[in-house]
Amino acid sequence: MLVARYLLTGFVLALAFVHFAALTMIQPPSCPPECICLSQTQVLCNSGGLREIPVKLLPSTVEHLSLTRNHFPIIKSDAFAGLRYLRKLSLDGNNISIIKPFAFRGLPRLRDLSIQQTPLATVAQFAFAGLQNITSIYLSHNKIKKVEGYAFAGTSNLKLLVLTNNPIIKIESNAFSGLTNVERLNFPSGVRVLEPDAFNGLDTVGFLKLAFMDLPSLKEGTFRGLTNVGVLSIQESDLGVIESDAFDGLTFISNLYILNNKIDGIQELNLTQEQRIGYLKLQGNHILEIPRAETLNIGVDKLTVIANHFPCDCHIHSLLEGPLANGSLLEFISKNYCISPLEVNGRPMSDIDIDSIGRCQEEVTRGNLEASKDSTSMCCKMKPQLSILLCSFVAVFGNLR
């Protein structure tokens, strides 16, 4: 018994000595047993079976830290506190389902962060907040369904945010608020909800591409607060109905591309000169209803409308006289196509005899009511109801001729 105690004490002392030696004399670098410390700045803890981040055991000087294929289910707030020199961090292949607010706080030098191949489903509020000096965040191949508001608050130097290969269906209001210097922002396909103000606070973006969305409508205020964009490209999507004010509050956009979408209708498209939209390119869209001329205000510097398909119905006159054609009638009809009627589907507008298409009843009526102020037109000397009837009769009859 006594011997055993001596032995034990000796052992403890020896251990303490080794530990002491380690700390004071030889100062061998601390390194978690599951990791390989290539140097005091580079540490690999890949496939280490770790369930927690061994932040206390890591050299505080570490610059590159790789923690791939471990078993962290959660990244707590301030999970890496103290690693002030960290520049590059990889957490790929972990079982991360939650990132708490301010998880990466206290990492002023962190530039590259990769969290890929994880079951992460939500980019929660403030998850990546306060990463002042980060340039790239890679979040591809996760299970991200939604990005909550202010997820990137204060992350003002981010240049590259990769969200591809995620089943994102919803982008909440203010999701990208605080990103003020992004070079390129690409979204995965399948977005079904863009909340109003989804891009609010997103300032100075080189290229913002929204593709393969499936929206019931482009809601009022969707782009409100988005400013200083090189290219905003909305493409290959079902946009449903473009609501009035969908583009309200979108300012300083060098190039706005609306390419190859299906658009059920345009309630109003009001791009004012104050919004400073340089170039609007409407190309390859199928627009199922011709927007009424008075709902369009295209205050842009340069406009291209080509390879779109419109119904060639009685509203075509209003389209050709309106701001989308902008006076270049021949050019417009040779470069845009008819969707309907069926027999002209896919044919250039210039193939059909536009004059043979009657004007719509309301246009005819309106025209005549305006004319009534001064003209001697026989329609217009009558009571309005009668006039509508007679004028539409005249219109129809005129077309049959």
> At closest approach, how far in Å is the CB of 134 from ligand NAG?
9
109 binds ligand NAG (CB under 6 A): yes
How far, in Å, CA of 119 to CA of 298, rounded? 44
* Shortest spacing between CB 326 and ligand NAG, in angstroms: 4
**First vs last C-alpha separation in the chain:** 121
Nearest residue to the partner ligand NAG, using Cβ: 108
Residues 51-80 that bind ligand NAG (CB under 6 A): 71, 73
Q: Which of 53, 300, 388, 395 binds ligand NAG (CB under 6 A)?
A: 300
**Helices H / strands E in the chain, number of each:** 5, 27
Backbone φ and ψ for 110, nearest 5 degrees, come out as -65, 125
Cβ distance 357 to 316 under 8 Å? yes
**Using CA atoms, how far apart are residues 375 and 94, in angstroms rounded to an integer?**
78
- CA separation for the pair 231, 208 (Å, rounded): 6
Please report the beta strands in 12-67, taking only residues with DSSP state E, as ranges in sequence order: 36-37, 42-44, 64-66
Quote the least distance from Cβ 133 to ligand NAG, whole Å: 4
**What pairing do the DSSP bridges indicate for beta strands 36-37 and 42-44?**
antiparallel
Q: Is 82 in the site for ligand NAG (CB under 6 A)?
A: no
Q: Does 273 bind ligand NAG (CB under 6 A)?
A: no
Six-digit token string for 34: 């599951």
Distance, CA of 241 to CA of 269 (rounded, Å): 11
145 binds ligand NAG (CB under 6 A): no
Of 300 and 338, which CB lies nearer to ligand NAG in the complex structure?
300
Question: How many residues belong to the chain?
Answer: 401
- Residue 235 near ligand NAG by CB under 6 A: no
Q: Is 334 in the site for ligand NAG (CB under 6 A)?
A: no
Report the residue from 30, 41, 97, 260 that binds ligand NAG according to the rule CB under 6 A.
97
Question: Which listed residue (151, 162, 303, 379) binds ligand NAG by CB under 6 A?
Answer: 303
Query: In 3-state terms, what secondary structure has residue 316?
Result: helix
Tell me whether residue 126 or residue 332 sits nearer to ligand NAG (CB atom): 332
Residue 372 touches ligand NAG, criterion: CB under 6 A:
no
Query: What is the contact surface with ligand NAG in residues (CB under 6 A)?
Result: 71, 73, 95, 97, 108-109, 132-133, 268, 270, 272, 297-298, 300, 302-303, 326-327
